[in-house]
């Protein structure tokens, strides 16, 4: 079975229940949510989010709650050694997000590794390692943090498999660190997505294919290696529908949850049509 869905909203009055309803309307059997707005840390009480109703709806439709992926807010930057107080704030908020992910019944929290800004990259990587260790050492849940592959825009960390492996190698509870592979990001970082078997071989050799927790399936508005991170709709970018369709159906990835983060078209979500196109045999 292919587990395919999209990013969906979570807003009043239905919150998580509404997220699952939206996903079902797209013909999805997976989804990705933020526990609140991705650009801030304001959060509603867990009790208000209609989690039990959402779980009942998932059960009625044969959904596994573990096919719900949670994404951490963008403002968390554990790599910021220029303003350590910012990294400290991110660390503390990440610990709270772990508890919220557990309340949703999910097991994967996707996290951008962070940006070094004007600091030395090795110093920034060590900051990420140290702060992840603080969070995970104090957390006894089964929630894993999936570090996302990045495009290498500006001073972003995580644009190479080697850098992600370096971060993971410093973690005390390595079994709690996984990877989220974004097709647009790796394309923009310089990987040749059209030679995806070769990419999987590299990934397996450097990180281990068993560490791949989920994927973001996005086309790219940029040529390969542009380091810009601009998602395109499926089949409307430089990667193309055929390539992304082959990735979604790749036999080595059949159990991996795959999430669309493509742009709205004229104010409307494209996910129902894109899911149909990607599922087509």
21 burial class (0-12, 13-18, 19+ CB within 10 angstroms)?
A: middle
State how far the Cα of 28 lies from the Cα of 15, in Å rounded to an integer.
18
Q: Is the dihedral of CA 45, 176, 119, 153 positive or negative?
A: negative
Phi, psi (rounded to 5 degrees) for 211 = -95, 0
| Binding site, annotated residues for Zn(2+) | 71, 112, 148, 182, 185, 216, 229, 231, 261
| Binding site, annotated residues | 71, 112, 148, 182, 185, 216, 229, 231, 261
The phi-psi region of residue 266 (left if phi > 0; otherwise alpha if psi is between -120 and 50; otherwise beta) is left
DSSP state of 280: -
Coil, helix or strand for 220? strand
Q: Is the dihedral of CA 272, 278, 279, 281 positive or negative?
A: positive
Coil, helix or strand for 224? coil
State how far the Cα of 170 lies from the Cα of 267, in Å rounded to an integer.
43
State how far the Cα of 187 lies from the Cα of 185, in Å rounded to an integer.
5
């Amino acid at each position: 079975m292919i587990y395919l869905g999209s990013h969906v909203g979570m807003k009043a009055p239905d919150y998580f229940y509404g997220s699952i309803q939206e996903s079902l309307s797209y013909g999805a059997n997976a989804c990705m949510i933020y526990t609140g707005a991705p650009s801030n840390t304001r959060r509603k009480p867990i009790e208000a989010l209609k989690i039990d109703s959402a779980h009942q709806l998932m059960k009625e439709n044969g959904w596994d709650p573990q096919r719900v992926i949670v994404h951490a807010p963008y403002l968390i930057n554990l790599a910021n050694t220029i303003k350590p107080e910012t990294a400290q704030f991110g660390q503390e908020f990440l610990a709270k997000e772990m508890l919220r992910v557990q309340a949703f019944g999910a097991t994967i929290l996707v996290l951008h590794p962070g940006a070094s800004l004007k600091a030395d990259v090795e110093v920034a990587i060590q900051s990420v390692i140290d702060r992840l260790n603080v969070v995970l050492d104090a957390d006894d849940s089964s929630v894993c943090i999936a570090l996302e592959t990045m495009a290498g825009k500006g001073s972003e960390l995580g644009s190479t498999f080697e850098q992600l492996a370096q971060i993971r190698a410093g973690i005390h509870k390595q079994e709690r660190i996984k990877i989220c592979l974004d097709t647009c990001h790796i394309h923009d970082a310089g990987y040749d997505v059209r030679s995806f078997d070769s990419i999987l071989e590299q990934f397996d050799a450097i990180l281990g294919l068993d560490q791949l927790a989920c994927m973001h399936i996005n086309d790219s508005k940029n040529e390969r290696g542009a380091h810009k991170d601009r998602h395109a709709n499926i089949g409307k970018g430089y990667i193309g529908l055929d390539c992304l369709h082959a990735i979604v159906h790749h036999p080595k990835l059949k159990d991996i949850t795959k999430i669309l983060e493509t742009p709205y078209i004229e104010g409307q979500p494209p996910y129902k049509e894109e899911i149909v196109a990607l599922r087509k045999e």
